[in-house]
C-alpha cells in the first residue's frame, strides 16, 4: 500500500512537471510566426484612398476601432472617434475575459514599424510579440493582397492622432494560455480581376470575414457544416441577443430567392442617414451589423459579393433575429 502511494505521488509529480513545462513552453516560446518584415509603406494618395475604402467599408477596421453609439440603430461611430478604440468585450457581452479595443491612431501606433503593423493584421502578433485574440479577424486578413494591406496601413498612418489609452487585454483561464497557440503565419493572396465576378466576390467576402460572423460557433470554433448559415449570437447590453442571418442560397431560410437588385438595395437603403442613425430604446431590436458602413460599398462590389454568396451551398437554418433582454 505504501509503495502504491509512493508511486502515485511520483506519477502526480511527473504529471505536474510536464504540465508546467508545457505551459511554460506555450507562454514563453509561442507565438512564433517569425520577425516582422523590414518594410516601409509609401503614403501615396492612391493607397490612402484605397485603404480608407477597405478599412471603412470592407474589413471594417474603423467600425471596430472607433467608439460606437449604441443608442442608435446599428451602433454608428461617434463623430471624431475614428480609430480611437475603446469598445469593450467582457462578461456583459458573453466574452471570457476583458478586452478593450485598442487605439489605432498614430498616437498609439506611432512607434510601430510598418512591418509590425503588417504582422499584427495578418498573423495576430503584437509589436511586443504577444498574441492577439481573433476578435480582430486576422485569419481572414491573412489572405488579402499585400498591396491592399499596404493601403490599409497607409490609411491608418493618415488618421488624426487621438490621445486615448486602455488597459491590456485579459483573458480567462484557460483561454489566456490557449491564445498563445492561435497566431499563424500569413498566406497572402491576390486581388482577382474585377471582371472575374465570382473570384472577386469571394475575395471581398473573405476580407470582410463574413463566414466568421455568419456561422455558428461551439467553444469559439466554427461548427462544420453550418458555414454562412447564420445563427451566431451577439449580446448587446441593454438590448438583447442578435443573431446573424443565414446568407446561404437556401430559398426558405437564406437568400436563395433574392434578386441581385434586392440584395444591393438591402445595403444601399442605409445610405439614408436617418435610417442608419435612428434612435433605439432599451430592449428594442438592435443589431451589430454596421449597415451605415456597408451602405457605402461600391454597387459593383455588392454585385460581386451577391454573385459569390449565391454559390454557397444552401443550408436550411431558420434564424430568430433578435431576443430582447
Instruction: Determine the Cα–Cα distance for residues 255 and 11; give it in Å rounded to an integer.
Output: 57
Reading the chain (325 residues) residue by residue, the pLDDT tens digits are 555 555 554 444 444 444 444 444 455 454 779 999 999 999 999 999 999 999 999 999 999 999 999 999 999 999 999 999 999 999 999 999 999 999 999 999 999 999 999 999 999 999 999 999 999 999 999 999 999 999 999 999 999 999 999 999 999 999 999 999 999 999 999 999 999 999 999 999 999 999 999 999 998 899 999 999 999 999 998 899 999 999 999 999 999 999 999 999 999 998 876 665 789 998 899 999 999 999 999 999 999 999 999 999 999 999 999 999 7
What whole-number distance in Å separates Cα of residue 36 and Cα of residue 215? 32
Round to whole Å and give the CA distance between 124 and 136.
Answer: 8
- Distance between CA atoms of 28 and 23, rounded to whole angstroms? 8
Sign of the CA dihedral with 290 first, then 291, 292, and 296 last: positive
pTM for the structure as a whole = 0.91
Tell me the C-alpha distance between 65 and 75, whole Å.
Answer: 13
Amino acid at each position: 500500500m505504501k509503495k502504491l502511494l509512493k508511486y502515485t505521488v511520483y506519477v502526480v509529480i511527473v504529471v505536474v512537471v510536464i504540465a508546467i513545462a508545457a505551459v511554460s513552453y506555450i507562454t514563453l516560446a509561442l507565438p512564433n510566426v517569425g520577425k516582422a518584415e523590414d518594410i516601409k509603406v509609401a503614403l501615396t494618395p492612391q493607397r490612402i484612398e484605397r485603404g480608407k475604402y477597405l478599412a471603412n467599408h470592407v474589413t471594417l477596421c474603423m467600425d471596430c476601432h472607433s467608439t460606437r453609439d449604441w443608442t442608435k440603430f446599428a451602433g454608428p461611430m461617434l463623430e471624431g472617434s475614428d480609430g480611437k478604440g475603446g469598445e469593450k468585450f467582457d462578461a456583459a457581452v458573453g466574452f471570457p475575459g476583458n478586452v478593450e479595443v485598442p487605439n489605432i491612431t498614430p498616437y498609439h501606433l506611432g512607434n510601430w514599424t510598418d512591418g509590425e503593423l503588417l504582422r499584427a493584421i495578418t498573423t495576430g502578433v503584437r509589436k511586443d510579440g504577444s498574441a492577439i485574440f481573433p476578435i480582430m479577424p486576422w485569419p481572414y486578413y491573412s489572405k488579402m493582397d499585400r498591396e491592399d494591406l499596404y493601403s490599409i496601413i497607409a490609411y491608418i498612418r493618415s488618421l488624426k492622432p487621438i490621445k486615448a489609452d486602455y488597459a491590456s487585454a485579459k483573458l480567462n483561464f484557460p483561454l489566456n494560455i490557449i491564445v498563445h497557440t492561435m497566431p499563424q503565419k500569413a498566406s497572402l493572396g491576390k486581388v482577382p480581376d474585377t471582371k472575374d465576378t465570382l473570384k472577386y466576390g469571394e475575395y471581398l467576402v473573405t476580407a470582410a470575414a463574413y463566414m466568421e460572423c455568419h456561422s455558428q460557433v461551439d467553444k469559439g470554433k466554427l461548427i462544420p457544416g453550418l458555414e454562412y448559415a447564420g445563427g451566431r449570437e451577439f449580446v448587446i447590453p441593454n438590448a438583447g441577443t442578435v443573431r446573424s442571418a443565414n446568407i446561404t442560397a437556401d430559398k426558405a431560410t437564406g437568400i436563395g430567392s433574392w434578386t441581385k437588385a434586392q440584395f444591393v438595395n438591402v445595403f444601399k437603403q442605409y445610405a439614408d442617414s436617418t435610417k442608419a442613425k435612428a434612435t433605439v430604446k432599451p430592449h428594442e431590436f438592435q443589431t451589430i451589423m454596421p449597415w451605415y458602413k456597408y451602405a457605402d460599398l461600391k454597387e459593383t462590389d455588392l454585385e460581386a459579393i451577391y454573385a459569390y454568396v449565391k454559390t454557397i451551398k444552401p443550408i436550411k437554418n431558420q434564424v430568430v433575429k433578435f431576443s430582447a433582454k
